[in-house]
Every structure is written in structure tokens, then in C-alpha cells.
Amino acid sequence: MNPAPLSADELHASQVGHSNAMRSRVVAGYLAVATPVLMIGADTLAALARGWRIESRLDRAALIALAVLLALATGALALAGGRRFYSRYFSRLVLLSMSCFVAWLLSELLLGPVLARVAEPLHGRRPGTQFMYHPRRGIMRDVGVEAHVKFNAWGIRGTDPPARDAAYRILCLGGSSTACTYLDDAKTWPHLLEKDLQAADSSHGYWAGNAGLPGFRTDLHLQFVETSPLVDEVDCLLIQPGINDFALALAGERPAAPHWAQSRLRRLIATLARQAATSATAVEDTAGEVYIRRRAMRQAAEIDRNEPDIEPGLRKYAENLRAIIAACRRRNVRPVFASQAVLWRADLDPENAALIWFGLLPDGRYLSIEQLRVGMDRYNAALRAVCEELDVEWIDLSSLDGDPAVFYDDCHFTETGARRVAQLIADWFIAHPAALLAEAVR
């Protein structure tokens, strides 16, 4: 028997039920795609509200890709074909979303050993890494058009060290002023220091390695001195600290990054991307265009001319210096410190003032150039005081302060600047042969 035909009310109810079911499937399919993106977006907005900034190009690209995905997913709701897609494949989309979430949880549990295996050495890069910078003209003065960069078997810039008894080994620690990021290997001041020492004293072999890395502070220098096996392989640690500690004292502790940015999966992807890229950092780009953005941010901001409270930072800085010295002595390596030279000075002309980008404060304002110089002088004075207190050698580079020929921005050396730094430090080592030779024959 054929079923009785549906009444008008029953037919309407059936159509409504079908329409509601379809809408539910469409919503479920859309939410399966959009919910993870919205959660990451909410996490990111919360971090931005705390003051976190997107500096990594990898993070910026990922967030742009997610924004595009959300826009496409939302736009599909306005199209009949998009709604049909969500309705037809909603169960698969939900399953895919849940599977990705479970896979992420598992990766957080299991990636620890993998990260440990692929992680770069502290204060270094993966041994054998090579790449090239191509600084764009007009951004950095007195810097070559190409910078060949190579990290040796120890994961630091410089040639492989000679035999232990064939040379006095100096390992340079510091931030980007030591790293000489955009200078060719042959034009960094640690490399030129090695050459100057060899030329000045042919009776003795010398080697200088460069373990400087952008952004590194005394807390990381201390970790290196306490834990790195390289410390046992050198005679002297030449440390140029201060400016990154000062920057931290001004800006305060960096606001916590979004939870997704702290995940092991993100850290693994960032590590692999950095190792595969032509640049050794996810922040600095090969052309140096990041400096355009940094300078523009300072120029657009309000300038604070009041002296900031950096006393807590200075105390922590002095504590770290004392701990570094104690660790060097425990490990029988000679510590020598160099002061931090800067372009900052009270009468800096507008052309050079436009190159400045340091000085960010917690409220988004920037510290005046005059107060930047006062603060850096205080950090250098703290370094000198600790060295004199503990009878440790230090090298005064203040003769370079404020000289436009030496810097292409706040503190980073031009080729001329690196040449002068190397000569000053080489002259100092040659003038202190007794300590040097005593260490060399230990």
C-alpha cells in the first residue's frame, strides 16, 4: 500500500525539520573550521592587550594565514555552494578539527626529546650553518652589500680553532654589538681582533671566536659560562654586556606571549624554519628592513625626557656580573669585560637622531636620547665598579661614544666601527702580556 500523502501541515513540518537539520550541519561544519582560528585569535588579542608584540616573521605569517582562512570560511556562509559544502562534509570537518586538537596535545607531550635534538646550542647556531645577508642601501651606512656568515664546528662565527696548545683562544660573548650581525665574517670585530693580535705578536698564536647573538643579556651569558663545554676549550672569555640588560630595565619584562606561541610545536617549527632559512634569526631580515619599522615606531611615539628608575635593573645586572666572574674562576677561564659604546649623545644632530630606535618604555613611549646616554653610562659604570671590586680586567671603549662613523644606529658597528673596536681591544691585550701569557701556559 502506498503511504498516505502528507498533509500540508505535515509537509511544512518536514520541510522545516529538514531546513533546521541542514542549518545545524552548516553551523557545525563552519564552527569546526572557525573555532580553532577564533581561539588562537582570542589568545593573540589577550597577549596584545598585555603588551606583547608580533616580532617574528613566522608568527606574523601564521596569523595572516589564519585570518585569511577565517575570512574564507565565513565568506562561504554567504554562498549556496559554501553552505552545501558545510552541510555535506560537516562530520568530516568536525572529525578533522578534533583530530588536529588531539595531535597538538600529543605533540606537546612527545616533542620534548625532538626539540632537545634539533635545538641550537646556547649562544650559538647549528654547526656548519651558512647564509648571506644583503643589507639594503640607505638603511645601514658603511656596511657591505653582502655579508657572508658561517658558523663553525662549535656553532659560533669564526674559523675552527687551532690545536689547544697552538694559540691563545679568546671567545667573545655579547649581544648584537658583538655579533656584528650585518657585517661579513671577515669584517666583524672579533675576527679583526684575531688578525690584529697575530700581526702585533708573531711569537704567539691567537684565535678569536664570536659567540655574540642579538638580544642576549647577562642572564644568558651566565647560563653559557656555567654550562657550556666550550668554556673548557678557551683561555679567555671577552664579554661585552650591558645594552640589552639596560633595554630590559627600561621596557620591563616582556609580556607573556600567546599560549600557542609558547607551545613546543611552534618552537619546533620556528627552529626548523630558522635553520632552513637564509637568515639566522626570525626577527632580523636579510635586507635589514626591520630597522625601518623600528625607527618609524620611535619617531611616531611620544618621547619621555625624564630619568627612568633603572635601579632594580642595575642591581640585577651587577649580580649577574658577579656570578659570571665567579663561574669563570671556577672553570679556570680568564674573564675580560668590554664596555658598551653607543651613538647616543645629548647634541646628536637630526640626521643621526633619525637612526635611533632603542628606548621603548612600558607605556609605549620612548626615552629621550639624552636619557639613553645617561642610563648607558650608569650601566658601564656598574660594570667598571664590579670589575674593580673583584679585581677583574675590563676594557674602556668610551672613546667611541657618539661617533657617527662608528655606528649605523644606536649601538651596532659599521665596518669602520668594527675596525676601531678591534684595534682598541687588541692594543689592550698587547699591553697586558703578563696576564695573557700566564693564562696561555696554564
pLDDT-derived band at 8 (thresholds 50, 70, 90) equals: low
pLDDT-derived band at 173 (thresholds 50, 70, 90) equals: very high
In tens, the pLDDT along 272-301 reads 776 665 444 434 678 888 899 999 999 999
In tens, the pLDDT along 139-164 reads 999 999 999 999 999 999 999 999 98
Residue whose entry in the numeric block shows the C-alpha cell 656568515:
149
Terminal Cα distance for the chain, rounded: 107
Residue type, position 193, single letter: L
**How far is residue 250 CA from its own chain's centroid?**
17
Pairing of strands 206-210, 393-395: unpaired
Higher-confidence residue of 14 and 40: namely 40
pLDDT-derived band at 16 (thresholds 50, 70, 90) equals: very low
The pair phi, psi for residue 377, each rounded to 5°, is -60, -35
**Nearest by Cα to 251 from 361, 118, 132, 374:** 361
State mean pLDDT over 360-376: 95
Mean pLDDT of the chain: 87
**How far is residue 368 CA from its own chain's centroid?**
24
DSSP state of 229: G
| Confidence (pTM) | 0.77
Residue whose entry in the numeric block shows the C-alpha cell 655579547:
174
pLDDT-derived band at 128 (thresholds 50, 70, 90) equals: confident
The pair phi, psi for residue 87, each rounded to 5°, is -65, -40
In tens, the pLDDT along 59-73 reads 888 899 999 999 999
Domain boundaries, given as residue ranges, for the chain: 11-110, 129-260+284-440
Could you give the maximum distance between any two Cα atoms of the chain, in Å? Answer: 114
In tens, the pLDDT along 300-354 reads 999 999 999 999 999 999 999 999 999 999 999 999 999 999 999 999 999 999 9
Pairing of strands 147-150, 130-133: antiparallel
C-alpha 406/C-alpha 401 separation (Å) is 8
Domain 129-260+284-440, CATH among 3.40.50.300, 1.10.10.10, 3.30.70.120, 3.40.50.1110: 3.40.50.1110
